[in-house]
């Protein structure tokens, strides 16, 4: 068997796929070596060990990148929550100020007023008239023609039935998925 140099040995950054392919190829070559070809076996074993180290470095870098991205995502989620709270606060302030303007226009019997930058108008809302329901009457006591019924599956009961061995033609338990844990 002639001596080979590792494929892609000059490349610094290799993908997990190419490393995995090389490891699989080397494992196949090891299986094909005849028992008395000690030199080829040693060369392939050394090559396989080097690939294992390269694989471990690559996997370690993957794990480090995943950890960094998860940490970044957490920081961004918290910042998004902070900004969402500020946006909600600003919306409430704007609504309160609009109510004050509306009150001012109504008290002073104004319809329209122009400023240097804006034209302010007190107008009637369009669309359908607001519907005001008597909140002292529960929806279940309304006449049936004025009720909406929302039906949804009772997943807890369905799961319990399946786990108890009951056959259901509309549901089954799926396989658990796997996930990557990095510690």
Tell me the pLDDT of the chain averaged across its residues: 88
Q: Which residue has the higher pLDDT, 108 or 53?
A: 108
pLDDT exceeds cutoff 70 at 74? yes
Average pLDDT estimate for 66-70: 94
pLDDT band at residue 12, thresholds of 50, 70 and 90?
Answer: low
pLDDT exceeds cutoff 60 at 7? no
Q: Which residue has the higher pLDDT, 99 or 40?
A: 99
The 3-state secondary structure of the chain, one letter per residue: CCCCCCCCCCCCCCCHHHHHHHHHHHHHHHHHCCCCCHHHHHHHHHHHHHHHHHHHHHHHHHHHHHHHHHHHHHHHHHHHHHHHHHHHHHHHHHHHHHHHHHHHHHHCCCCEEECCCCEEECCCCCCCCCCCCCCCCCHHHCCHHHCCCCCCCCHHHHHHHHHCCCCCCCCCCCCCCCCCCCC
């Amino acid at each position: 068997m002639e001596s080979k140099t590792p494929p892609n040995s000059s490349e610094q950054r290799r993908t997990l796929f190419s490393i995995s392919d090389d490891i699989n190829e080397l494992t196949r070559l090891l299986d094909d070596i005849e028992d008395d070809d000690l030199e080829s076996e040693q060369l392939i074993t050394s090559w396989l060990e080097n690939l294992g180290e390269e694989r471990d470095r690559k996997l370690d870098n993957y794990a480090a990148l995943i950890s960094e991205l998860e940490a970044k995502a957490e920081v961004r989620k918290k910042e998004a929550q902070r900004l969402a709270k500020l946006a909600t606060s600003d919306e409430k302030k704007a609504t309160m100020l609009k109510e004050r303007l509306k009150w001012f226009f109504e008290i002073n019997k104004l319809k329209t007023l122009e400023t240097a930058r804006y034209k302010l108008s007190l107008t009637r809302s369009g669309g359908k008239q607001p519907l005001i329901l008597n909140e002292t009457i529960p929806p279940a006591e309304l006449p049936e023609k004025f009720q909406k019924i929302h039906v949804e599956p009772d997943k807890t009961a369905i799961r319990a039935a399946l786990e108890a061995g009951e056959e259901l033609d509309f549901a089954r338990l799926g396989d658990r998925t796997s996930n990557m844990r990095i510690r």
